[in-house]
Homo-oligomer: A and B are copies of this chain.
Amino acid sequence: MEFRIGELAERVGGKVVGDAERTVRGVATLARATPDDLSFVTNPRYRSAAESSRAAALLIAPGSGIEFANRIEVDHPYVALAEILELFHPPTRPRPGIAPNAWVAESAKLGRDVSIAPFATIDEDAELGDGVVVGAGAVVGAGSRVGASSELRPGVVLYAGTEVGERCILHSGVVLGGDGYGFATHEGKHRKVPQIGRVVVGDDVEIGANTTVDRAAFDETRIGSGSKIDNLVMVAHGVRLGDDCLLAGQAGIAGSTRVGDRVTFAGQAGAAGHLEIGSNTVVAAKTAVFKDVPPASFVAGIPATDHKEWKRTQVALKRLPELVRELRELRGRVAELERALSERTDPDDR
């Protein structure tokens, strides 16, 4: 497969600087690109790596100041990169068909061109839309529905009654619909509260390996369309996650918390239960959100506060041992002043 640089520029709405007729056969990082490769600069810190790259051409934002003979200048080089990578690496899907060693219930409804790998289980009344791919050993529980073109990688488990939208990707080990963590404690004993809700995942959602989303106690745990969830994330029962959210690795959201649209949780961040987290909020890595957060916030820390305030506190905190010393010294000086003043005074009183 090869493309002319001009052709790629046109595809991504970019402008060629240099030789539009030059062809490229692949995409590679700055360091590894050969003269047959297109490369890219999505971060200005890689300037010197860019200028010494052997790539045929660079995908780059206009006005970057980086000198390179052939460039495709485009406003959003990372988006353009995604598009060009798809040209060179179109998503591959296994051939449609049901492996003879899969188990599909007679009552299951399968769309056209479904692919079901060995040892997958499609339970009673489950429904798979057109083009759905179910990997080896994956389990689609009774009555679950998976929308068209969605993929369940090997080992995914959907508990009974789970709904997944279209064009979703669920990576290996994802578990959707396990019982929420609900117990009524009385005299030190924990009694299970039946979890009679379910999990509903929108369209275009991607969920990373070994992430878990629990079914609601009542109603639904919801993952909004376009949201992307990383590996080993925990979404508890009754959480409502809006559209186009990002939950990075090992983040966790406790029960019944409602998260708006386009909210980002960075790695290992967490939120307590029964909160409202407004749209367009960013929760920094390792943060613990214990209170409601208004829209468009940027919070950090344990407990979470405004990120700027957190930074100020961190700066002050670094000075804290010094402050302790300064305060002690100052107390000495004040005591000395008090002594001096009282001595000065006493003679007058005589």
User: Which residues in A have some Cβ–Cβ distance to B below 8 Å?
Assistant: 27-29, 32, 76, 78-79, 81-83, 85-86, 88-89, 91, 99, 101, 103, 117-119, 121, 135-137, 139, 141, 153-155, 157, 159, 169, 171-173, 175, 178-179, 181, 183-184, 186, 188-194, 196, 206, 208-210, 212, 214, 218-219, 226, 228, 230-232, 234, 236, 244, 246, 248-250, 252, 254, 261-262, 267-268, 270, 272, 285-286, 288, 290, 301-303, 305, 309, 312-321, 323-324, 326-327, 330-331, 333-334, 337-338, 340-341, 344-345
Contact = CB atoms under 8 A, between A and B. Distances in A.
Number of this chain's copies in the complex: 3
Contacts of A210: 173, 175, 210, 212, 232
B236 A234 contact: no
Contact of A312 (B262, B272, B314, B321): B321
A184 B78 contact: yes
A181 B313 contact: no
Contacts of A341: 337, 340-341, 344
Nearest to A193: B82
A195 to B, nearest CB: 9
13 contacts: A82-B191, A89-B196, A118-B119, A155-B155, A178-B208, A190-B226, A208-B212, A209-B212, A210-B212, A268-B268, A309-B318, A333-B338, A341-B341
Contacts of A89: 194, 196
A76 B320 contact: no
A183 B246 contact: yes
Nearest to A343: B345
